[in-house]
Structure 1
Amino acid sequence: MAKAMLFLSTIIWGSSFFILKNTLDEMPLYFILSIRFLVGALLLFLVGCKNWKKLNKKYLWAGGITGVFLALAYITQTIGLQYTTPSKNAFLTTFYCILVPFFCWGVTKKAPDKFNLVAAVVCLTGIGLVSLGSDDIGFNFMGDGMTLICGIFYALQIVAVELWGKDMDVILYTAFQFFAAFIICFAGFLLFEEAPASISLSAIGSLAYVSVFATTLAFLLMNVGVKYASASSSSLILSCEAVFGVLFSILFYPDEHITPRIVCGFVVMFIGIVINETKLSFLRKEKVKV
């Protein structure tokens, strides 16, 4: 059930890439993120009001630290999206699936096994086949560099949830993450931006979607999933958001088409997930039978 929640969150996030790209044309970065995290925090505080009796200092500091990682991840990813393609942004973000096993190793002293490492590399290869085309060759710091940095912060956020989320109420923990992220983003808005003079109905609809679904619901599902699954497995499943990002682009943009390269990428990613989840135990069983 936990892994199904993780997959559902990746589908929601995958649908948000092209929606957010269009929204950035009308609204500034910190304004969008402030609204997203404020809506998410308020909704979850309302939903979790019955659990306030569980509140203690750990929710404040753990939620605050995790929220800082979350805010920095979103800020750097959204800056990157302004200077690179949605597909490349989605691909480079999944750099975290390589980092999470090593960050967990540093925190828990439990080394990743060879299957975790091989699976991460295989999945990253598959994501590259799906996401990247000839137009995505090349590197620029503001687009690609900032997106890679966001992968570091996403990895830290996943590890933080793995480390602190086990014995906390997920709704309250997520709400405090959002509130901490809102404070950072709202400060950025006050310092660097002005409110948009006008906002179209389509932009309002897009902002509502990414606030309620791609922020509140998706992160709640992710935090529940990471709580009950390992961080390494969670990061690989979550990396599928790049694949769903491409699929939604194909569905909603007439210029996007399924190609043999994309199909190969799906197959390679599936192989990577199988390696991680099974440790190829079915092959060892076959050898024993022989």
Structure 2
Amino acid sequence: MDRAVTRGARPGRRAVPQWAWKVALAFSAAIWGGSFVVMKDTLDVIPPAWLMGIRFLVSALIVGALFWRTLRDNFDLSHLVMGTILGVASGSAFVVQNIGLDDTTPGRNAFLTATYCVMVPFFNWAVTRRRPEANNLVAAALAIVGVGLVALGDDLSLIMSGGDWLTLAAAALFAVHIVLVARFSSAHDVMTLTVVQLAVSALVALGTAALTETPPDPAIFSSADVWLSLAYLVLLSSCVCMVVQNLGQAHVPPAQASLLLSLESVFAVASSVIFYHELVTPRIAVGFGTIFVAVLVSELLVRRRD
């Protein structure tokens, strides 16, 4: 998920109160949290890469149509190159995450993905030579403890599935993507980059699907449930939430915005327990909580320094 920020409201327009943007960001986190359960069910009929390819392709067309004037005014070779780099990173992250989701539960997938927040300062160090602070080290240690609590059985045996390991790999890719967004967005139009990123992400996913997966059976598209799931993932998770996130972060202090968005993993577990009947033992609950605290520690430090 991008941490990009768009320009503020245009002069002459009535300002939206900050509390409304905070509510909108929390609502976006809830939608993203619910998407883990929606994707888990949809993966039963549509392979992961095909699902992501369809999602990003339709999202790119919709967002491109909505912001076509911005795209027309700003699109150039630099936006194409930078947007392509972002699209490769983002598309790869989502494909790996969703392949992992096929072999784990929505709650585990959400909280293991959330460790990307802890990884960002260390990837940023590699790019900018800006050393992580003490709180980043504490957050990393907490994340390792949290993942250990989630991954180890009662007899301390490792019970990480292949899907769990893929989810951690996806978290690393998300961290790389966030660092790249921070470097590219200051000198480029964010919405133009976003449209290019979505289109390239679609190509990455569809290319992966063509090489590794069997196309979905056309008959599944006669199901209303499939169309409802796709509508949720495309219209809500991709189009609405992405625009709300970018605009909201232009009006809410970064630390508060990041904390509101990090609620995604909490909503994901709640949705998984309610709708997917995921069993959360006390040990796993403590592990989830430890990972969430690690995210808060990391995000509070990073955003206060911005």
Q: Under a length normalisation based on structure 1, what TM-score does the superposition of the two structures give?
A: 0.79
* Percent of aligned pairs sharing the same letter: 33
Equivalences, count: 278
Question: Which residue number corresponds to residue 42 of structure 1?
Answer: 61
The structure 2 residue matched to 1:139, chosen from 154, 160, 165, is 160
Offset, 1:151: 1.0
C-alpha distance in 1 between matches for 2:125 and 2:253: 12
Question: Is 1:94–1:124's contact at 8 Å kept on the other side of the alignment?
Answer: no
Matches within 5 A, 1:127-276: 138-140=159-161, 142-192=162-212, 193-199=214-220, 200-223=223-246, 238-253=261-276, 262=285, 269=292, 273=296
User: What 5-or-longer segments of structure 1 have no aligned partner?
Assistant: 282-290
Cα 1:222–1:126 shift into 2, 3 Å? farther
- Cα deviation, residue 100, structure 1: 0.3
Are the structure 2 counterparts of residues 116 and 3 from structure 1 closer, same or farther at C-alpha, using a change threshold of 3 Å? farther
Q: Which amino acid in the other structure matches residue 10 of structure 1?
A: A
**Could you tell me whether the CA contact under 8 Å between 1:10 and 1:244 is conserved in 2?**
yes
Structure 2 stretches of 5 or more lacking a match? Answer: 1-17
Relative distance call for 1:70 and 1:213 in structure 2 (3 A) is same
**How far apart, CA to CA, are the structure 2 residues paired with 1:172 and 1:111?**
31
Residue pairs, 1:23-42, within 5 angstroms: 23-42=42-61
Give the deviation of 1:152 after TM superposition.
1.1
> Is the 8 Å Cα contact of residues 151 and 159 (structure 2) preserved in structure 1?
no
The CA distance in 1 between the partners of 2:219 and 2:238, in whole Å, is: 23
Call closer, same or farther: CA 1:198–1:75 in 2, change over 3 Å.
same
| Aligned partner of 1:277 among 275, 293, 300 | 300
Measured after TM superposition, the shift of residue 117 of structure 1 is 3.2
In structure 2, C-alpha distance between the alignment counterparts of 1:10 and 1:203, rounded to whole Å:
22
1:183 is displaced (CA, Å) by 1.1
- Distance between the aligned counterparts of 1:178 and 1:157, measured in 2? 13
Q: CA deviation at 1:97?
A: 1.8
Quick one: which amino acid aligns to residue 219 of structure 2? S
Letter in 2 for 1:166: S
TM-score for both structures, normalised by structure 2: 0.75
Residues 1-38 of structure 1: per-residue CA shift (max 9 Å, x gap): 68776644432221111111000111122221111101
